Structure formats: structure tokens, C-alpha cells
Structure 1
């Protein structure tokens, strides 16, 4: 049978799990579900950006391309911010500290608003 320390050392990232106390598993699992939801959001953003260009819609090409780039860029950044959010939340849980403020909601909302505005301009200027 392995010790608790050996079990902790096999978890990734080990530097996170070596410190603090194990939180209630429900909170850890909720944190993981939130991370996975952001990953799904990233996939949707990338798919939306690819679809704008791949479908070749009858829209102003410059605005359409700009909207696609905004969506794809947001989809590329989202997993990185999601990982950072998961990590800082897990660390706070392990040390019984207040949870950090969300970092993804505002940038994602801004990217979607910008992309939508660009698509609207593309429709108006076709």
C-alpha cells in the first residue's frame, strides 16, 4: 500500500498538491468541472472562428476575417486562463483561503461582443 505522500507526488501538478490540506472533494470536482466548461467554451470559440471563414458566407471579407481571428484568438487564450484559474482556485481551496476572482468571464464576453460587432459590420457592408 502506498503512503499519502506517494499518492500526492503522482498528482499533477505535484507542487500544488504537496502543500495545504485536502479540501472537500466536492469543491475540487466542481473546480475541475468549471475548468472543463471553459475548455468546451474554447473549442466553441475556435469552431465559430473557423466556421466564419470556412463557410465563405456572403459577408464583407475584411470584417469576416477579423471576427474569425478574434474568435480563434480568444479560443487559444481561454485554455491558458482556464488552467490558471483552476490552479489558483485549487490552491485557495487547499489553504482555506477565499476563492480568487474569476478571470475569464470579462475577456470572453469582450471577445464575443467584438466578434459580434465585426459580423454586424460585415453584414451591413456586404
Structure 2
């Protein structure tokens, strides 16, 4: 049976959702900035690949935020334990790949 959760928890869930959206927007802005503002690397297409990767991570963050918000809302209404967060692992792994790629590209450009 579902019941309305304490409004403070609902508002906290909404603030967390908005944080996911801010993260998605930041990732998208970073992707655009990499493609438009960063000088070309020695490897052709590297900027585009980094920009697309950041754009895809933005999609993961925005979709993950919606899914997380809905799952938490349902769990609170049903009195269940909160569901685990899975998309943070994807985001962390993706950002690690981007960071390593940037470091490699910078080292290759310096040589």
C-alpha cells in the first residue's frame, strides 16, 4: 500500500534530482567546450571523441537522475528501503576514461 512520504524527504529527493540535472548540464557544457574551444590534439578526432563521450555521460546523468528520483519516490511511498545507486559507477568510470585520455593526449602533444 502506498502512502504519502514526509514532505521533507520528497523535497530532499527533488533536490538530489536537480543535482543530477546540474551534473548532466555541466557534462554537456564540457563536451561542447572540448569540441569548440580546445586546440586540436595530435590525434585526429580526439576532441570529437572526448566531446561525444562527455555528451553521452550527460545523457547517463540525466536519465539516471530521473530513474533514481522515481525509484526513491516509489520506495518512500511503499515504506521500502531505498534502492542502490548504479549510475554513479557508470559516471565515475566514464569520467576516469576521459581523464586518462586527456592525460595521454596532453603527454603525446608535449612530445
With the length of structure 1 as denominator, give the TM-score of the two structures: 0.79
What count of residue pairs does the alignment treat as equivalent?
A: 108
Distance 1:122 1:66 in 2: 12
Q: CA deviation at 1:68?
A: 1.5
**Could you tell me how far 1:58 is from its partner in structure 2?**
4.4
In our comparison, the structure showing a higher alpha carbon Rg is 1
Q: Describe the superposition over 1:65-89 as per-residue Cα deviations: whole angstroms up to 9, x where unpaired.
A: 2222111111022211111110010
Listed as ranges, the gaps of 5+ residues in structure 2 are none
CA RMSD of aligned residues (A): 1.4
Query: Are 1:29 and 2:21 an aligned pair?
Result: no
Q: Which runs of 5+ in 1 are unaligned?
A: 1-18
Large movers: runs of 4+ above 3 Å:
none
- The structure-2 alpha-carbon separation of the partners of 1:64 and 1:121, relative to structure 1 and needing over 3 Å to count, comes to farther
TM-score of the superposed pair, with normalisation by structure 2 = 0.89
Give 2:104's aligned residue.
121
In structure 2, what is the Cα distance between the partners aligned to 1:121 and 1:65? Answer: 15
Structure with greater helix percent? 2
* 2:50 maps to 1:67: yes
Q: Which residue of 2 aligns with 1:92?
A: 75
Of 45, 48, 73, 2:30 maps to 48
